[in-house]
Structure 1
Amino acid sequence: MSGNKLIAAGSSRLRKAADSSVDPAVPAELQKNVTVPTAQQASVDGSGASVFARGRVLSADDIKGTPEEQLAFVTERLHEIDLAGKRAEDFTVLNKAVLLEVAQQRELHRVAGHTNFAVWAAGVLDIEPKYVFELLQDAARIRAIGELGPDLAQHLTRASARKVMADVIAGQGLEAAQVVMTEGLAQAAQQGKRRPTASLLASIAKELTKPSIPEQETRSEISDPPAEPPAPVTPAAVAALERAVSSLKERVYSPLAPGAVQAALDADPVSTQNHLEQLEKDVRRVMKRLTAATRAAAAATERSEAPAG
């Protein structure tokens, strides 16, 4: 009787859902059931639908307008589909990891007649056994960098970069990792790159924790003037605040200028509105922390200036 119940439950779960036409390997934002009439529109129309909605494949006829408009369309769509592909890869890795983790915890490989979990999983996925654990580790890193927020995490598309930032989060904390990512994006932009490399992020993280000790110079005690006192060492926490101030001016203040906002609205009003709303939420959270921080600083100043009892 219990077997029949299990079969019935399994059958109900296997029925097609109302949204069964949605391809789970394609990011949701590309699957809106809306027809986009021309490619001269932006990546989304007023309803928020992408030109790649429901897995639509473009053709040469979609790319129209002036040469400048065609170039802009091609460039923007390449960036869009590249990012969508990265999200689909993350989707695949995360879901594979959940299935493998449950199978390992419940020892389901033994039900299949295997004593070694990695060998069983490798056979199912048609990969080498060592890659099973690399997949699980990468999934854990994807979850970890998710704490950075979508605006920062979306730039960590390579496993090597995810590893660096996951280690920073584990070793230095989330706020330090956010500083590293923000600085990494700024330096990458200066180098003409869309996202920071793993080596660049590792270098920034190392500099963040390294005390700034001035280099010692040898001099003659007779002819050389007396050495200047060494510059004070900047603690890592103070350096993080300094970087946060610089980053705020460069990456937040300028894009909010009236002209910059209007240009963004002209290019994509829907995405601009979404970004502004998210920024407003983040600023409110920052203001709460900033208020608490300034109160703590004021209290510390009062204690230091109070006469000794």
Structure 2
Amino acid sequence: MSGNKLIAAGNSRLSKAKDSRIDPAVPAELQNRAAGEGAPDSVGLSETSAFAGGRVLSGDDVTGTPEEQLAYVTERLHEIDALGRRAEDFTVLNKGALLEVAQERELHLVAGHTNFAQWAAGVLDVEPKYVFELLQDAARIRAIGALGTDLAQHLTRASARKVMADVIDGHGVEFAQVVMTEGLSQATEQGKKRPTAALLSSIAKDLAAPAIPHQEARSEISDLPATPSVAAELEALDRAATAVRERVFPALAPARVKAAVDTDAAKGRQRLERLQQELERASKRLTAALKASETALDTDGD
């Protein structure tokens, strides 16, 4: 996908709010600061935050028992790390927006430059190639916003954003939500805070690849019709697993559940309970089926 197509895709993925200052991909508190509401040096922090007002902490802030000190330090590190990532996204989005305007309106010509990238690189004091990387990353940040905050917040690296933006573009938001949910699950199993680009790419390829049934060897001299490599009953089990992965997982994505409950809490609860009942029934049947398969394996072993 070319840079311009990616930027267009990012722009169209999420619609702007009525207030043109508000971008759905950026935390509201950060946007309030950008709009001039509140102290600019607080960078979107609440007044109760230890970092409010741009405050730098010291040893005097860490008190209490050793356990309490450890908890305080850990919590503040997580807080400032999350704030840093959000501020970086905010910066990239605004740089990208300004560069897009300058490029579309050819403002570099007004500045006496014939080459847009060279003009922008001079303004930002970066290499010309970085200008287009920044434009593309801003588009990707907007694109992954369609996943919902609960999932998008874990895409803190440009490489991971690129993978998921491509997944959204190629397979749609619901498929991308399944990939991201599975990525978070596997990352947790591996002891990581968030999935890497390589992990997300691998999961997307596995989920998108069509199932290839095992091909049994057949005699070249046999005139008998070929026996189906996978019985209909086995194919039905494959389809059931695929249906759960592609339909149930996306429906239970935190952002989608929240939207359903916000629309009608009572009806949302009823439908969740109905889904729970069906899944429990399916779980009981699955347990019985697994026991039957174990018995069959034991019999074959004898």
Give the TM-score band, short-chain normalised. 0.5 to 0.7
Letter in 2 for 1:109: H
Q: How does 1:1-309 map to 2 (within 5 A)?
A: 19=37, 21-23=39-41, 27-28=43-44, 30=45, 32=46, 34=47, 49-218=48-217, 229-230=230-231, 231-232=234-235, 234=239, 238=243, 240-241=245-246, 244=249, 248=252, 280-284=258-262
Aligned residues: 225
* Superposed displacement of residue 220, structure 1: 8.7
Identity of aligned residues (%): 64
Cα deviation, 1:153-202, whole Å, max 9, x if unaligned, reads 11000000000110111111111111111111111111111100011111
CA contact (8 A) 2:99 2:120 kept: yes
CA contact (8 A) 1:211 1:236 kept: no
Q: Which blocks of at least 5 consecutive residues in structure 2 are unaligned?
A: 1-34, 221-226, 275-302
CA contact (8 A) 2:144 2:164 kept: yes
Q: Secondary structure at the match of 1:234?
A: helix
Letter in 1 for 2:99: L
> Aligned-pair RMSD on alpha carbons?
3.3
Cα deviation, 1:88-139, whole Å, max 9, x if unaligned, reads 1111111111111111111111111100000100111111111100100000
CA contact (8 A) 1:144 1:166 kept: yes
Give the ranges of 4+ consecutive aligned residues of structure 1 lying more than 6 Å apart after TM superposition. none
Larger relative contact order (CA 8 Å, sep ≥ 6)? 2
Q: Which moved more, 1:154-163 or 1:65-74?
A: 65-74
**For the structure 1 residues 200 and 71, does the alpha-carbon distance in structure 2 shift closer, same or farther, using more than 3 Å as the test?**
same
* Superposed displacement of residue 213, structure 1: 2.2
CA contact (8 A) 2:164 2:176 kept: yes
Letter in 2 for 1:74: V
Q: Secondary structure at the match of 2:211?
A: coil
Structure-1 separation of matches of 2:246 and 2:257: 19
TM score, norm. by length of structure 2: 0.65
Q: Which blocks of at least 5 consecutive residues in structure 1 are unaligned?
A: 1-16, 35-48, 253-274, 295-309
Q: Secondary structure at the match of 2:239?
A: coil
CA contact (8 A) 2:168 2:176 kept: yes
CA contact (8 A) 1:141 1:162 kept: yes
* Superposed displacement of residue 215, structure 1: 3.2
TM score, norm. by length of structure 1: 0.64
Structure-2 separation of matches of 1:64 and 1:20: 30
**For the structure 1 residues 178 and 169, does the alpha-carbon distance in structure 2 shift closer, same or farther, using more than 3 Å as the test?**
same
Structure-1 separation of matches of 2:67 and 2:215: 56
